[in-house]
Amino acid sequence: MTQSLEGKVVAITGASSGMGEAAARMLAKRGAKVVLGARRVDQLQALADCIAADGGQAAFAATDVTRREDLARLVQTACGRFGTLDVLVSNAGVAPISLLDELRVDDWEAMIDVNVKGVLHGIAAALPVFRAQGSGHFINIASTAGLATQPTMSVYAATKAAVRVLSEGLRQEAGDKLRVTLISPGFVRTNLAGSMTDPGVRARIADTMDRIAISPDAIAEAIAYAIAQPADVDVNEIVIRPTAQA
């Protein structure tokens, strides 16, 4: 038996578009109070206004996940506006993939800073709150690239594998009060290709997305499913990808 999402306070990073936006809209429609985090404040404002117009509740805070203080502010916004934080969805990610021979070191560092440190900054911000209130749920968005890599994806895959390992370590340390869920999407129809600095790679990935990618709503459904389980049920890992993806 699942529980209602009514009244759950859910903070989401990378909430201004793609999977984060889809999750915010879906969770709000099902009664959750959503706290939106991303760098693009104008888009956060527009999304919050749209959710409110549909009868939902939303707050937002400018959030660059590479800045620890921004994650702290996102969590504080949730607690200040809604009195608590039940779930943190660490969804922000970038993928400027390329062959290692190209030595795009700045891109490597960006992936580490956003995809790995961003998750750690979220843990640092939310874990004390969850411990103090005796409940809480981390949902970390990884990728099927973290399960098996291929040329051009070495660093990106390494960051997503790191999120997988961090999530499992967090689960083991969490005890019997906190929940940890890892979601590994395959190709999803988002603007992730826009973060790719190699034109050839960007075009190839965009073409693949056009052909086989699934809707961000599929990932939003997975997030909602994990949250809606009874408190003593911890959905640890979900892998979700297009049927056509190898």
Annotation says 156 is catalytic: yes
Domains and CATH numbers, the chain: 9-240 (3.40.50.720)
Catalytic entry in 82, 138, 156, 187 = 156
Q: What is the pTM of this model?
A: 0.95
Task: Give the DSSP letter string of 117-180.
Answer: IHHHHHHHHHHHHHHHHT-EEEEEE--GGGTS--TT-HHHHHHHHHHHHHHHHHHHHHTTSEEE
pLDDT digits (tens, 9 = 90+) for 192-243: 888 888 888 888 888 888 899 999 999 999 999 999 999 999 999 999 999 9
pLDDT digits (tens, 9 = 90+) for 72-113: 999 999 999 999 999 999 999 999 999 999 999 999 999 999
Residues pairing with 36 in the sheet: 12, 60
In angstroms, the CA 240 to CA 1 distance is: 22
Q: Rounded to the nearest 10 degrees, what angle do helices 118-133 and 68-82 cross at? A: 40
Start-to-end Cα distance in the chain: 33
Is residue 25 within 8 A of residue 224, CB to CB? The reply is no
